[in-house]
């Protein structure tokens, strides 16, 4: 086995509990656009930093890609915002984020139904 020719793929940076909390809150308050909101063939058009590809990244460890709507550029493409920055979320962190965001949204929906 030729170890010099094998490239070590890096995983997306793991998030702290505080960062996870901030993203969950932002998702529930609709402050973030996530890659799963657009067709897969549009992801590199929406998240411009990905145009060069994900060289060296273990794409199997990507849970989602997101950015704050406030950071969208002045133009859109096919109705989708364009970002010149983005955050790549580790798959394990995304599972936690999605679970917590759904629980918060459900609790909010239930509270609003009772009022």
Number of domains in the chain: 1
83: CB partners within 8 A, 6+ apart: 33, 46, 47, 48, 49, 67, 71, 72, 73
Element (H, E) at 69: none
Is position 103 within any domain? Answer: yes
Token digits of residue 25: 């809150």
Is position 1 within any domain? Answer: no
Is position 51 within any domain? Answer: yes
Token digits of residue 67: 């950015």
Is position 89 within any domain? Answer: yes
pLDDT in tens, 61-106: 999 999 999 999 999 999 999 999 999 999 999 999 999 999 999 9
Buried b (16+ CB within 10 A) or exposed e, 34-45: bbeebeeeeeeb
Q: What is the CA radius of gyration of the chain?
A: 17
Is position 3 within any domain? Answer: no
Q: Has residue 112 got a pLDDT over 80?
A: yes
pLDDT in tens, 19-66: 999 999 999 999 999 999 999 999 999 999 999 888 999 999 999 999
- Domain range holding 73? 17-114
Token digits of residue 2: 């030729």
Residue corresponding to tokens 């060296």: 56
Compute the distance between CA of residue 23 and CA of residue 68 in angstroms, rounded to an integer. Answer: 10
Is position 21 within any domain? Answer: yes
Helices H / strands E in the chain, number of each = 3, 5
């Amino acid at each position: 086995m030729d170890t010099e020719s094998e490239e070590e793929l890096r995983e997306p940076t793991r998030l702290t509990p505080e960062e996870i909390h901030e993203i969950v809150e932002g998702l529930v308050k609709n402050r973030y656009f996530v890659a799963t909101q657009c067709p897969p063939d549009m992801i590199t058009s929406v998240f411009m930093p990905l145009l060069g590809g994900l060289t060296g990244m273990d794409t199997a460890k990507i849970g989602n890609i997101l950015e704050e709507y406030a950071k969208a550029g002045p133009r859109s493409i096919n109705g989708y915002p364009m970002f010149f920055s983005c955050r790549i979320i580790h798959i394990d962190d995304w599972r936690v984020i999605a679970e917590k965001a759904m629980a918060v949204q459900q609790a909010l929906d239930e509270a609003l139904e009772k009022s």
